[in-house]
């Protein structure tokens, strides 16, 4: 009995944290023939994956770090392959659309500032960074319902969106179909480096593995030091509103408002520092709704159906943490706040790096030493 219990508790690799980041990475690791187990905290976890906006967004990402712009765009290019693979594996259509996206602004100054930022990014990318500045008339070519208060927008052809809940389900089903295990282990209590591999202690017992990947979002703060790493992450709350269905009018995602495949309207993009409080506040919801209705007056009469808050996993500079432990080889830290956009990057090049310890990517800029 003891033996079977013990053998069920080993894996080539354990990922701690079964959100979008952990699942996408795990799926990529399976391509290397690894036997992978995800240890997940179960449903009391602070789940960024359930609260997110579903954007596959490139525009403006990495304005102060060209390497981040590079991996975001790489991920956007890899996304259609990931979506096709998920559909083949699970039959689930994650509703990926990449026809471009618009970032609308209500003041001329904001449009000018965004254009200046994107021009700097184009220069940093050696001239290859597609975007256009649009005035209201041009915005209305994309979205006729844009309101008279819209001063303009920036448009990037590489932007898009997916259905985040379908994505979460598809990743989970594909991972399980390829022989992965998801253990609702409760919160990991300790990770002990062994002569060979690692021992992970949880309320549900212990696991042993050759490699361990920390993809536990905010939980990485306490886990990282156990394997000689540092994860200076903190929560940043975003609130999202869902309004009732309306006829399809938004055929492109925008930075603040998108329309789902079912016709419902998703509105968001608040950034607040509130510590570990994932609730919603009337004041912020009113601001979010006010901006959305000024952009799209068609939304004025709509009823709000649901609202939620979720905690983004932020670093001081907003960029990801990707780092291999030098002290305990075989341990890796993977943390970001753009789990959807970077999903295809995590399932591809990042998983390849963890599996082989080799990469051509400039991952060294993403280690925690920069803080």
- The answer to whether 158 and 130 are in contact (CB under 8 A) is yes
* Domain-wise residue ranges, the chain: 3-52+165-233+317-370, 101-157, 234-314
Taking 50 as the pLDDT cut, the residues of the chain under it are 1-7, 45-46
Query: How does pLDDT run across 72-85, given as a tens digit for each residue?
Result: 999 999 999 999 99
Q: What is the layout of strands, in order, in the sheet containing 101-105? A: 101-105, 152-156, 132-135
Residue 238: predicted pLDDT: 84
The pTM (predicted TM-score) of the whole model is 0.94
Residue 48: predicted pLDDT: 58
Residue 6: predicted pLDDT: 44
Kindly report the CATH class assigned to 234-314.
Answer: alpha beta
Residue 315: predicted pLDDT: 95
Backbone CA torsion sign across 359, 65, 163, 214: positive
DSSP-assigned states of every residue in 27-88: HHHHTTT--EEEEE--TTS--TTTS---EE--TTTTTT-HHHHHHHHHHHHHHHHHHHHHHH
Residue 64: predicted pLDDT: 95
Kindly report the CATH class assigned to 3-52+165-233+317-370.
Answer: alpha beta
């Amino acid at each position: 009995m003891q033996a079977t219990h013990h053998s069920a508790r080993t894996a080539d690799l354990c990922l701690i944290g079964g959100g979008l980041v952990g699942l996408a990475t795990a799926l990529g690791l399976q391509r290397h023939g690894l036997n992978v187990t995800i240890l997940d905290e179960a449903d009391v976890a602070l789940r960024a994956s359930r609260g997110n906006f579903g954007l596959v967004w490139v525009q403006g990402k990495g304005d102060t770090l060209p390497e981040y712009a590079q991996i975001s765009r790489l991920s956007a290019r890899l996304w259609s392959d990931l979506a096709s693979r998920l559909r083949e594996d699970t039959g689930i259509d994650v509703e990926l659309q990449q026809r471009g996206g618009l970032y609308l602004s209500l003041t001329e100054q904001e449009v000018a500032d965004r254009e200046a930022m994107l021009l700097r990014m184009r220069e940093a990318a050696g001239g290859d960074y597609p975007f256009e500045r649009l005035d209201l008339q041009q915005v209305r070519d994309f979205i006729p319902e844009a309101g008279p208060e819209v001063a303009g927008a920036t448009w990037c052809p590489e932007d898009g969106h997916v259905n985040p809940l379908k994505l979460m389900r598809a990743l989970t089903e594909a991972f399980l179909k390829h022989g992965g295990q998801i253990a609702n282990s409760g919160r990991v209590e300790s990770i002990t480096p062994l002569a060979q591999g690692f021992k992970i202690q949880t309320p549900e017992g212990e696991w042993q593995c050759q490699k361990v990947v920390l993809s536990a979002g905010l939980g990485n703060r306490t886990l990282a030091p156990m394997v000689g790493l540092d994860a200076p992450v903190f929560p940043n709350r975003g609130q999202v509103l869902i309004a009732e269905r309306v006829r399809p009018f938004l055929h492109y995602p925008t930075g603040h408002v998108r329309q789902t495949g079912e016709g419902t309207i998703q509105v968001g993009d608040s950034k607040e520092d509130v510590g570990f409080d994932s609730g919603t506040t009337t004041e912020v919801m009113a601001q979010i709704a006010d901006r959305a209705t000024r952009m799209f007056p068609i939304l004025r009469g709509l009823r709000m159906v649901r609202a939620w808050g979720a905690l983004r996993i932020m670093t001081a500079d907003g960029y990801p943490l990707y780092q291999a432990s030098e002290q305990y080889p075989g341990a890796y830290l993977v943390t970001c706040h753009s789990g959807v956009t970077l999903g295809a990057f995590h399932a591809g090049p990042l998983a390849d790096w963890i599996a082989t310890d080799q990469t051509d990517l400039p991952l060294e800029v993403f280690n925690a030493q920069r803080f």
